[in-house]
Amino acid sequence: MSPNYPYNCWYVGATSDEIGSQPLGRRLLGRPVVLYRAPSGEVVAMEDRCAHRAYPLSAGRLDGDRIVCGYHGIAYDTQGQCVHVPSQENVPVGARVRTYPVIERAPFVWIWLGQPGAAALRTPPATPWLVEPGWASQGEMLHVEANYLLLHEHYLDLTNVYAMHAANMPPGIDRLPSLDEVEVSEMSVSYTRALPPAPLADWEAEATGLPHGPEYHRREQGFFVSPALHVQKWAIDTDAGAFEQLRIHGFTPESPTMTHVFLRIAHNYQTDRALVSAHLRHFFLDMTRRDAALLEVVQRQLAEDGEPRRGINVKADRAGLRARRVAQAMVAEESGRPALRAVATAGG
């Protein structure tokens, strides 16, 4: 399977707490990358491959703000420039490794692996629920053996919950209503659906502390913010305001069949109660692991069939298909192919 992800996009490369004084090696978009934190606090990202004999720099060590290869000891500065060769006085002309633009917005470290000059034209998407007062969040990282678009499509069609997680749905609602509207822009897709009033599911009551008995309206919203980020919002409307819980997924392809999932669970109520955050984290992490196990089966099935896309589409697929088309158009643009052709064949 060839890469179906755009490079000219900010992706989550790591979480802030992963990056310290030890080099972190990670394959992102098919490329080996090493990340580390310089003594100044700045995060540095560069090709994880020594310019000498291809040994991974992540297997080396840090010396101040330099990274030192673990094979023959060649050192590089934060710009990727070779600055020291232990066995000779001078460094070879042009000896360097590629560095990548990085923007740290805790808890995420965003990385740009596309055209170097294009990074400044875009910024990483905002994730206010992870930083602003009035919200609490926790997270986890998963490694899923599935293409990143399978993950996007899965979370843009929540109708799968009745087959996969039926016990977690509000009692008395046996299916999700149709999508009210799917909005599409150049790089994003979003939808909203309103649910009929129903009592709380056990997990909702436990998290919110609201009484079980009354019926509540809910809104479910999904956002394909970019090929790198999906957000799903589940809001319970009450007279005292909306009790919102969000699943924020950073999807970063490791390869066409493997995806790093940077999961964050955020909520806007009882933000000072660690037990509530822990409950939501445990609840959604359990669901995410079951989702991942299913998608890995689908990925293996697609690989064994040798036919990457063959299947009918139903109405609930609308948002997922739109997202796939956005990603395909971006890939087509990067490759110089006409974007419209990619859109026309996107559902196939």
Positions touching ligand FES (CB under 6 A) are 50, 52-53, 55, 69, 71-74
202 token code pair: 């056990």
Q: Return the closest-CA partner of residue 228 out of 258, 246, 245, 248.
A: 248
What is the smallest separation between the CB atom of 254 and ligand FES, expressed in angstroms?
A: 24
Identify which of residues 23 and 250 has a Cβ nearer to ligand FES in the complex: 23
Identify which of residues 83 and 131 has a Cβ nearer to ligand FES in the complex: 83
Identify which of residues 3 and 73 has a Cβ nearer to ligand FES in the complex: 73
What is the smallest separation between the CB atom of 52 and ligand FES, expressed in angstroms?
A: 3
What is the smallest separation between the CB atom of 74 and ligand FES, expressed in angstroms?
A: 4
Identify which of residues 72 and 309 has a Cβ nearer to ligand FES in the complex: 72
Task: State whether residue 45 is helix, strand or coil.
Answer: strand
What is the smallest separation between the CB atom of 98 and ligand FES, expressed in angstroms?
A: 15
Beta-strand (E) ranges in 145-270? 181-184, 189-198, 216-226, 229-238, 241-255, 258-267
Q: Return the closest-CA partner of residue 221 out of 242, 199, 250.
A: 242
What is the smallest separation between the CB atom of 21 and ligand FES, expressed in angstroms?
A: 20
What is the smallest separation between the CB atom of 91 and ligand FES, expressed in angstroms?
A: 12
247 token code pair: 């699943």
Identify which of residues 86 and 172 has a Cβ nearer to ligand FES in the complex: 86
Identify which of residues 20 and 92 has a Cβ nearer to ligand FES in the complex: 92
Identify which of residues 7 and 55 has a Cβ nearer to ligand FES in the complex: 55
Cα separation, 183 vs 240, whole angstroms = 29
Q: Which residue type does 255 have?
A: S
Identify which of residues 30 and 56 has a Cβ nearer to ligand FES in the complex: 56
In which residue are the tokens 């989702």 written? 291
Which residues, at least 6 apart from 121, have a Cβ–Cβ distance to it below 8 Å? none
DSSP 272: T
What is the smallest separation between the CB atom of 245 and ligand FES, expressed in angstroms?
A: 47
Cα separation, 316 vs 191, whole angstroms = 11
What is the smallest separation between the CB atom of 24 and ligand FES, expressed in angstroms?
A: 18
Which residues, at least 6 apart from 335, have a Cβ–Cβ distance to it below 8 Å? none
Contact 201, 169 (CB under 8 A): yes
- What order do you get walking across the sheet with 66-68 strand by strand? 61-63, 66-68, 75-76, 82-84
Cα separation, 304 vs 302, whole angstroms = 6
Q: Return the closest-CA partner of residue 296 out of 244, 259, 344, 340.
A: 259
